[in-house]
Amino acid sequence: MKTFFGTCVSLFILFAYGSEPSKVQIDRYGQFTHLNFPEKVTSDAQLKADIAADEAYYASFPLPERTFWGGLPGSREKYGLTATGFFHLEKVDKLGGRIVLVEPEGNLYFHIGMSVTQPGNEFTRFKGRENIYEWIPEAEGIFKPARTDVTVSFYLANYIRKFGSYDLAAWQRQMIERCRRWGFNSHGAFTSIFGNNADTGFAVTACLERYMKQAPFHLVSADFIDPFDPYNAGLLEKVFAQKMKKYIGKPELIGYYTENERFYSSVITDLLASEKSSPAKERFVSLMRDRYKNDIAAFNRNWQSSFASFDEVAAASLAANTPAANSDAAAFEEVFFDAFYKLLAGTLKKIDPDHLFLGERMLIGQTYNSAVIKAMGKYCDIFSINYYTDEFSHDEIKRLAELSGRPLLLSEWSYGSPEQGLFGVRNVENQEERGKAYSRYAENAAASPYVIGHQYFALLDESNTGRGWEDFNGERFNLGFVNVCDRPYKTFITHAAKSNNLTYDLIEGKATPPELSQAKAIRAEKYVLTVGKVKPGAKIDGNRAKYPGRPGEVLRRSVDGKTGNTADFICGWDENYLYILYTVPDTTPATNNHKRHVCLGDGIELFFGTDLTSTGRMQPGDRQLLVRATPGNDPGYLWCVNGATLHKAQVPLRLCRVSADGKSWSMELAVPWKELGIKPEAGVRLRFDTAVVLSTAQNDERGDKLVWNGLEENYCCRDFWGQMVLEN
């Protein structure tokens, strides 16, 4: 049974348009035509009436006593803090040695940022699908700010209907006042300050992202410059100086991110695979000379190569396909990223020594690369992580703070719910539960001794038809504090504002954060699966008779915190394949229309590894297999390692069927041992895990994920996988 928080929402906006739909799906206010909800707008008069209602509503929020910058009044004297004229860090002995942000005037400051306090993220592409919209504003005239040649902002169109006009700086100042009423004290990421809004005391952070695209840098991998190349060092200083010049000497700036949501796993792989010599490749060769004491024969044995000398290595393509070679690559990874972040931090501080280096807004899935975290932590002031999670984890926060050696900024997070037709990066049932989730996260973050602030993403909802700069497949998340009609999510905001205003009480131990929910699977098991041989002549036919006479393994651990969904699987092996047959009860069986994303609908996920001891991210010989559940003997699949697709991998055999009664589906796979690098025989042991993904009843997104042993983070951390042992 597929459930989506017990809410039936008919979401039929398509993510990929093979042909232009003819039915109007979006009304003139940017709302779904088929959905009704209490906040839905049906006339311009309602929008105009909201002006007076909004004034009373926003005035109802008490403004807590705060400094000009949103800090704690009197804390400079109370804790012996220093006024430097800029945001900085200090250790407070009276708070147990906690490291805190201090605002320019010397008071304790916890950064509570609202991201994207400027229009842009809510625009959606209309070009090519005009017929699904009841109305699109003209490109000229009063609605001009809401239009480009190909995109439209229904939010801005509604704002103009409501107030009669739109001015960017005035709008931002109005939003700052709202945010301050909700307990925020600063902008979050992806915000520029317009007009005279620097005088509001609302601080800002700056992101220098895509700097490597703005000049002809020498790259070693996509988006990574060669830190050993002197040419890059000079060019980086010029590019950073240009991007940073408007912030020099500005007290309202907290600091700089140098990038947003990078992927680190393939950098060393790409660098070594290149057949071109480079300063970075030469540094690798130098390290190998030292590690192997100039013994090229020993290097060749470990790298399965045949070089006559180390002089040939720099211009050759290399792949770390053995444990010893992987150890060499890991050693160089530490050297590379140390040099990389030393270059970034040194350049940034040379240009602007007064502001903080905030790291790179790291994705949670990248936080198991210890080499990157340690190197970044060595040179940044604050380690930032885009910490989207179903539930805040003090253990996870402690791990990252200790690994990086820095205080943490939780630089992006949110929750969403489906009542108005959108959904969330992390989903909850309704706006009441959304508010409670916000409170658990925000209050526990403030209470954590490792956290100096957080940035909620974002002020406005994204469009019902997707974020415009991502074509027809853009994000469409319920993120906002206000919806497309500028109407506040009042139930949600009640919780958020209360929690934000408790921040300094939580830091000083005068309040206690709410208990955290344990509904989702938050700890891996330690399962070991014993697998016997299949009967001779086994074929992929969906028949259980060929498998050893053992009961199936039950999948019921939900990483999404759901209840009531189950599945099972059974395994067997022969000399060529590992066979796995899944049976999945499901009232809307084998429905997966997401061609771009294999497991956003019904599907199977598997993990394999021959290395039994290594921890952290996936190793070079590890494999992740994703299979889309669509009926037939050719469902789509994808092999991956650390998020990178393997295009030349062995083809698994697949068969997906729907039961005759339409209440379940099955998937049988034959995974080639050759792809896993395993010679099958009794006694062979490997790392293994698997999961079944279920779509929502509407097949618009993932509804649940049942995992055998591990966690949601299986794809980025092999620590959570179980084990499999072969026997006759």
Task: Give the CATH number for residue 418.
Answer: 3.20.20.80
Residue 262 within any structural domain of the chain: no
For residue 42, give every residue at least 6 positions away whose Cβ sits within 8 Å of its Cβ, in sequence order, or none: none
Q: What is the pLDDT of residues 79-89, one digit of tens each?
A: 999 999 999 99
| Residues 638, 574 within the same domain | yes
pLDDT at position 521 is 52
- Are 503 and 542 within 8 A, CB to CB? no
Residue 379 scores a pLDDT above 70: yes
| Residues 133, 173 within the same domain | yes
Domain boundary pick from 443, 478, 513: 513
Tokens standing for 544? 């259980």
| Residues 583, 507 within the same domain | no
| Residues 541, 689 within the same domain | yes
- Are 295 and 286 within 8 A, CB to CB? no
Residue 344 within any structural domain of the chain: no
Its domain, for residue 436, covers: 1-61+112-189+375-513
- Positive or negative, the Cα torsion across 243, 245, 249, 252? negative
Percent of the chain at pLDDT > 90 equals 81
pLDDT at position 81 is 99
Residue 481 three-state SS? coil
| Residues 276, 185 within the same domain | no
Residue 545 within any structural domain of the chain: yes
Q: How many domains does the chain have?
A: 4
- Are 275 and 315 within 8 A, CB to CB? yes
Residue 445 scores a pLDDT above 70: yes
Q: What is the pLDDT of residues 138-151, one digit of tens each?
A: 999 999 999 999 99
Q: What is the pLDDT of the chain when averaged over all its residues?
A: 92
Q: Mean pLDDT over residues 565-591, rounded? A: 94
pLDDT at position 520 is 55
Residue 1 scores a pLDDT above 80: no
Radius of gyration over every alpha carbon of the chain, rounded to an integer in angstroms: 27
Q: What is the pLDDT of residues 452-504, one digit of tens each?
A: 999 999 999 999 999 998 888 788 999 999 999 999 999 999 999 999 999 99
From the number of C-beta atoms within 10 Å of its C-beta (0-12, 13-18, 19+), residue 472 rates as: middle
Residue 243 within any structural domain of the chain: no
| Residues 429, 569 within the same domain | no
Q: Mean pLDDT over residues 234-251, rounded? A: 98
Q: What is the pLDDT of residues 609-659, one digit of tens each?
A: 999 998 888 887 899 999 999 899 888 899 988 777 887 789 999 999 999
Q: What is the pLDDT of residues 342-378, one digit of tens each?
A: 999 999 999 999 999 999 999 988 898 999 999 999 9
**Residue 6 confidence class, pLDDT cut points 50, 70, 90:** very low
Q: Mean pLDDT over residues 550-579, rounded? A: 90
Q: Which residues pair with 695 in a beta bridge?
A: 702
Residue 598 scores a pLDDT above 80: no
DSSP 145-178: GGB-SSEE-HHHHHHHHHHS---HHHHHHHHHHH
| Residues 281, 164 within the same domain | no
- Positive or negative, the Cα torsion across 348, 350, 352, 355? positive
Residue 251 within any structural domain of the chain: no
- Cis peptide leading into 458, omega within 30 of 0? yes
d(CA 698, CA 260): 32
Residue 3 scores a pLDDT above 80: no
d(CA 465, CA 13): 7
d(CA 177, CA 175): 5
| Residues 455, 539 within the same domain | no
| Residues 393, 463 within the same domain | yes
| Residues 448, 532 within the same domain | no
Residue 671 within any structural domain of the chain: yes
Angle at which helix 323-351 crosses helix 279-291, to 10 degrees, equals: 130
CB neighbour burial string for 260-299, b if at least 16 within 10 angstroms, e if fewer: bebbbbbbbbebbebeeebbbbebbbebbbebbeeebeeb
pLDDT at position 682 is 96
Q: What is the pLDDT of residues 660-704, one digit of tens each?
A: 999 999 999 999 999 998 999 999 999 999 999 998 766 557 788
| Residues 105, 118 within the same domain | no
Q: Mean pLDDT over residues 178-185, rounded? A: 99
pLDDT at position 519 is 52
| Residues 455, 482 within the same domain | yes
